A and B are shown apart, each in its own frame.
Chain A
Amino acid sequence: MKQLIEISKELLESRKAGYIIGYTEDKFHRTKPFIAHTTNDAEKLTFNQKAVHNLAVYLTRLPKPKEGKIGIVAKGCDIKAIIGLIQENQIKRDDIIIIGMNCNGVVKDINIDYNKENSQMKCSICELRTPKHANYIVGALEDFAKSELTKNILAEFEALSAEERWKFWEKEFEKCIKCYACRQACPLCYCEQCIVEKSMPQWIDSSPTTKGNFAWNIIRAFHLSGRCIGCNECERACPVNIPLSLLNRKMGMVAMKEFNYRHGIEPDQPTLIGNYNTSDKEDFIM
C-alpha cells in the first residue's frame, strides 16, 4: 500500500486534493470507508479484498472541499458509477482525481475473509481488473480464486411462471422494513428529494406494508433502469436480505437488449433515458 499512501500524501500536501475518499482497516481488521483530510490520515489508507464498498456514493453526499479536488480510491467497477455520475452532470471529471486500484476480487460478506465461496459473482466475469479512466493505477494484479458461476440465477428465475415470480416477490417484499438502506448505499440514488419523500401527493406509501414495499422497490428499479452499474451495494446493505440485484440486473439486461446501452462506460456518452434519438424504437407507442 506504500504507493497508494505516497500518492495520497502528495495530493493532500500539495493541496491538489482537499480530501481523499478511500479505505482503512480498523483494529478489528475490518476494512471500511475512510476520508483522509491530512497526510497523517493518509497513512491509514489501505486496499484489500475486503474493499467491496463503492466509494462513489460519497461523491454526491459529502460537502465539496474548500480547496482542491476530491480524491477517490476506486476499483474498476466503482469507476463505472463515477462515469455514470459524470454522464448525468452530477460531477465534473476535472473536479475529481481517481486513484484506480488493480483489483484481485472482493468479498461478499465483509465479516469473513476472502475465499472462493466468499467472492462476488461480478468478480468472476470482471474485465476491469485494471481500471479505465483513472488518474493513477496502483497495486499489483494477482491470481485469485474466483467464485464459480454455477448457474445463471437470472435465467433460472425468468423461467418461472409469472404467478410463481409474483409469489416470490410477495414473500421477499413482506420482509422489507423501508429502511432505505438500498437507496442510501447506491451511488446513483442522489436525488435531493426522493420520490418517497414527496408528500404532496404521497406517491408511495411510507409504511412497510406489502403494498408500500412493492411500490418502493419497483419504483427504485425503474428509476435505475439504464443507470444501474451493477455494484450490488444495495443488496449488501439490505438488512433483511432481499435479492435486489435480480431486479436491477433484469432492468440492465432490458436496457442492453432493447437499446444496446450500458451505463458508466464513457463519460461523454449520452444517457439512455436522458436522450432522444430518431432511431429509437416506437413500437410500444400506439
Chain B
Amino acid sequence: MKNFVITREQLANLASKLLGENWTVISPSQNGSKYLKIKDAKDLIIDSALKPTDISMKEHFFPKSETLFFFKRKKDDYELIDAPGSEAKTVIFGAKPCDASAIPVLSKVFNWDYKDEFFNKRVENTVIIGLACKFEDENCFCTSVGLSPLAENGSDIFLIPLSDDKYFMKPITDKGRDFIAANETFISEADNISEPINDFSTPQKRFSTENVKEWLDKNFESKFWFNAGETCIGCAQCAYVCPTCHCFDIVDEDCYSCGRRVKNWDSCQFELFTKHASGHNPREIQGKRYRQRVSHKFKYYKDRFDELLCTGCGRCTRGCPVSIDIGLILEDINSHFLETINVNN
C-alpha cells in the first residue's frame, strides 16, 4: 500500500488550487469555534494539538437547518419543488478522529431502510482529510469508546505529523486514493518513511462500554438517573455541539401559498420533545430525558446498529453551562456494574 508525504506549504498550495476550482474548503476555525468554510488558503488550520472545536463537524453533513422541499399553491392544487441540495465538491482539512469517525456512525441511521439523500449526497461529495490528534484533557475519552488519537474511521485520507511542517499521508478509502492521484503534484511518495505512530500516546481507558451496556440493559428504572440529570437545565447544548446527535424536527414555514418544509436540529433534552398532543409526556422530568440521552448513545444505537453513538470528544462536557460530565457519569455506571458483579460473586 503506497503512502505519501506532504508539507504544510504544499497543503496550503493544494487548498489554494481547490479554492480556485470552486471546491468548498473547510478547516477548523482560527478561534476554535467550528469547522469553517475558508476563502483563502492562509486561513487553513492544521494542528494536531488543537482542542476539539466548540461545535462539531456534523453541520457540513447534517446542517442545522435544511430545506426538504418548497411548495407553491395553485388554486386548489399544490406544486412541490425539490430543494437544490448540495452538489458542491468539498474537502475538509484537519478533521479530528473524534469528528471524522462520527460520519460512518451517522450513516447507519440515515440509511436505515430509507436513504436520506441529503446526508448521503454530502458524504459522497466530501473528502475528509483526518489528522492524528495530540490533544487530551479531562473531558475526552475516545479510547474508552473504541477510538484513539490515530483512529482512521471516517477519514478518506489520514495525516500524521512527522515534524512541524511535514505530514505522513495515508490514503484510507478509494475516494482518498483518487483525490491523491488527482493532486499528485502537491504530494510526494513516502519511500522509506514509516508511519510515525510512536509519537502518539494512547490515553487510558476510563470505563468499559460493555460494562456500561450491561448495566443499562437492566437499570432503566434506577434512581441513578434522577441524580445524574438533576442539575441539568435542559439547554440541549450537549446535543447541538455533539458530532453524533442527530435528532431533528420537521416544520413548515412561511405561508400556505408558498413556503417550504424544513428539517431542523432538535434534542431529546427539551421538555416538548416527547409531549403528546393529549398533554401526556412520557419523559416529563429532566432525569428521564438524561437517561434517554445516555441510553440512546450507549445501548439503543448499539442494539440497532452495533455502533456506539459517541466518539468521546468531550464537547458536551466542555460546553455544558453546569458542567455535567458524561465521562464521570459513565465511570459511575461502570463502577455500579462492577459492584453488582462483586456482590453476586
Do A and B pair up? The answer is: yes
Considering the chains assembled together, what is the distance between the CA atoms of A177 and B322 in angstroms? 19
Q: Which of B40-48, B166-174, B231-239, B301-309 contacts A (4 or more CB under 8 A)?
A: B231-239
Chain A's closest residue to B59 (CB) is A177
CB distance from B266 to the nearest CB of A (A): 9
Contacting pair A197 B237 (CB below 8 A): no
Check B237–A207 contact: CB distance below 8 A.
no
Binds B, one of A30-38, A93-101, A157-165, A271-279: A30-38
Among the listed B233, B237, B240, B325, which residue makes an inter-chain contact with A30, where contact means beta carbons less than 8 Å apart? B325
> Contact between B240 and A177 (Cβ–Cβ < 8 Å)?
yes
Does B65 contact A209, Cβ atoms closer than 8 Å? yes
Total count of chain B residues near the partner, CB < 8 A: 36
Point out the residues of chain B lying under 8 angstroms from A28, CB to CB. 138, 325, 328
Within 8 A of B (CB), among A125-147: none
A63 vs B54: C-alpha distance in the bound complex, in angstroms? 32
Residue A80 lies at the interface, judged by CB distance under 8 Å to chain B: no
Name the contact of B233 in the complex, choosing from A27, A57, A239 (C-beta under 8 A).
A57
Q: Return chain B residues, CB-CB under 8 Å to A241.
A: 33, 54
Whole-angstrom CA separation of A31 from B319 in the bound complex: 14
Instruction: Report the Cα distance A197→B324, complex, angstroms.
Output: 26
User: Is B247 located at the chain interface by the 8 A CB criterion?
Assistant: no
State whether the Cβ of B241 lies closer than 8 Å to any Cβ in chain A: yes
User: Hey, which chain A residues are within 8 Å of B270, CB to CB?
Assistant: 180
Contact B321 A181 (CB under 8 A): yes
The contact size tier of chain A is: 35 or more
Given known A-B contacts A35-B231, A239-B319, A240-B55, A26 and B328 have beta carbons under 8 A apart = yes
Residue A110 at the chain B interface, CB threshold 8 Å: yes
Most B C-beta atoms less than 10 A away, residue of A34, A62, A111, A179: A179
Q: What's the Cα separation between A26 and B236 when bound, in Å?
A: 22
Say whether A181 contacts B322, CB under 8 Å: no
Cβ-defined contact, B251 with A206, below 8 A: yes
Q: Which of B4-25 contact A (CB under 8 A)?
A: none
Q: Which of B230, B231, B237, B251 contacts A179 (CB 8 A)?
A: B237
**7 extra A-B contacts, CB within 8 A, seeds A34-B231, A206-B264:** A26-B323, A31-B323, A33-B231, A179-B265, A207-B264, A209-B65, A233-B321
**Interface of B toward A, CB cutoff 8 Å:** 33-34, 54-55, 64-65, 138, 230-231, 233-237, 239-241, 249, 251, 253, 262, 264-265, 267, 270, 272, 285-286, 318-319, 321-325, 328
